[in-house]
């Protein structure tokens, strides 16, 4: 049984979710200790609990010490089978983080899996729903992994109550990712989501973002989605792509932060990626790393990133515990070229 220290490196919920997902994919039992030990509120939180419970149900695993607040768990996976599943995170915990764990765990499935989740769709420290849909899913689709997303209702902090459904298709082969910077980014797409807040907020966010991109000779098209939810909320997700590259950025509105700041922060975050000639943004790179490693049996994967985040470095460490893999990082003037082999 593989034993992992959940406090290593960044030491967050990512180690727990990815370790359980990879355990399921490889059918390799794991014991994870010191879960989130260095965090102010250590141990398993609600969204981590639901992620593990969901994977447990998907593969009929044997799990010990799976409780909210627990500092360690033992996970012995079974075989993932197709079907329909429904789970409620019970808080505004991130739906997208749970989905990412489930997709990774289900790469060997022979029949489609449909998962209905209730929780937070647009919350702090996790991919927004639109980032998940327009950046993460298209990137893994390039590697042969097809997932159909369906948003039912937005959910924001603190009440959550959002709902979404995904269907994971069987994956025949994980294809190596090979991205190159051949064409300049020329257009930015985006979506602003808002619920239970005045309309002028979205207009100010949108106008600020568009003005920022126009100064950099980028055409911009941003949609606005208005809805109702249990808690008020607003956020913006932006992305830009060429034939080969795809980068994105997302920012949530917050108390004390003006609409103009939200729009400008989101635009500037995306501009950093574009101006570094990256082919994958910093956050997406961290999220697709496991797939790049799994694909190495079919050849090396490569991409260019602006920088290596702490999350990515921790993820690399974790992946080395499961796989015989090398990460080659070559610093250039503008970015880092990463090759997984």
Rg (CA), the chain: 19
Question: Whose CA is closest to 55, among 115, 8, 5?
Answer: 115
The residue extents of the domains of the chain are: 2-172, 187-275
Q: Which residues of the chain have pLDDT under 70?
A: none
Q: What string of DSSP letters covers 195-212?
A: ESS-HHHHHHHHHHHHHH
CATH architecture of the domain formed by 2-172: Alpha-beta prism (3.65)
Spatial contact of 251 and 212, defined as CB atoms under 8 Å apart: no
Per the DSSP assignment, residues forming a β-bridge with 227 are 195
- The two tokens of residue 234 are 């607003």
Architecture per CATH, domain 187-275, reads as: 2-Layer Sandwich (3.30)
Q: Which two tokens stand for residue 67?
A: 């409780």
Strand partners, 119: 162
Q: CA-CA distance, 68 to 101, in Å (whole number)?
A: 18
The span from the CA of 159 to the CA of 106, in Å, is 29
**Whether the domain at 2-172 and the domain at 187-275 fall into the same CATH topology:** no
Q: How many CB atoms lie within 10 A of CB 184?
A: 12
Question: Whole-prediction pTM value?
Answer: 0.97
Cα–Cα distance, 173 to 331 (Å, whole number): 30
Q: Cα 109 to chain center, whole Å?
A: 21
How many Å apart are CA 220 and CA 231, to the nearest integer? 29
Residue pointed to by tokens 């990712």: 177
200 labelled catalytic: no
- 22: phi then psi, degrees, rounded to nearest 5: -70, -35
Of these residues, 48, 200, 207, 311, which one is catalytic? 311
């Amino acid at each position: 049984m593989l034993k992992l220290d959940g406090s290593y490196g960044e030491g967050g919920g990512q180690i727990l979710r990815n370790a359980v997902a990879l355990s399921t994919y490889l059918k390799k039992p794991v014991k994870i200790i010191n879960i989130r030990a260095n965090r102010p509120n250590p141990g398993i939180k609600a969204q981590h609990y639901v992620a593990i419970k969901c994977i447990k149900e998907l593969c009929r695993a044997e799990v010990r010490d799976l409780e909210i607040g627990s500092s360690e768990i033992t996970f012995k996976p079974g075989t993932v089978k197709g079907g329909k599943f429904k789970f409620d995170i019970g808080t505004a915990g991130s739906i997208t983080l749970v989905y990412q764990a489930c997709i990774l765990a289900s790469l060997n499935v022979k029949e489609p899996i449909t998962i209905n989740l209730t929780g937070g769709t647009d919350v702090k420290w996790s991919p927004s729903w639109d980032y998940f849909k327009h950046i993460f899913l298209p990137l893994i689709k390039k590697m042969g992994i097809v997932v159909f997303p369906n948003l039912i209702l937005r959910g924001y902090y603190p009440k959550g109550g959002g709902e979404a459904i995904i269907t994971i298709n069987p994956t025949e082969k994980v294809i190596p990712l090979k991205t190159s910077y051949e064409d300049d980014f020329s257009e930015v797409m985006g979506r602003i989501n808002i619920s239970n807040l005045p309309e002028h907020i979205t207009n100010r966010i949108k106008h600020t973002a568009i003005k920022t991109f126009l100064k950099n000779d980028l055409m911009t098209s941003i949609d606005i989605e208005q809805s109702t939810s249990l808690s008020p909320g607003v956020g913006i997700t932006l992305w830009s792509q060429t034939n080969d590259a795809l980068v994105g950025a997302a920012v949530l509105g917050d108390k004390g932060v003006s609409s103009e700041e939200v729009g400008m922060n989101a635009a500037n975050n995306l501009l950093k990626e574009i101006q570094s000639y990256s082919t994958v943004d910093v956050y997406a790179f961290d999220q697709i790393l496991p797939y790049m490693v799994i694909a190495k049996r079919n050849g090396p994967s490569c991409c260019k990133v602006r920088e290596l985040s702490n999350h990515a470095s921790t993820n690399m460490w974790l992946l080395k515990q499961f796989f015989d893999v090398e990460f080659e990082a070559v610093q250039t003037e503008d970015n880092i070229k990463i090759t997984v082999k």
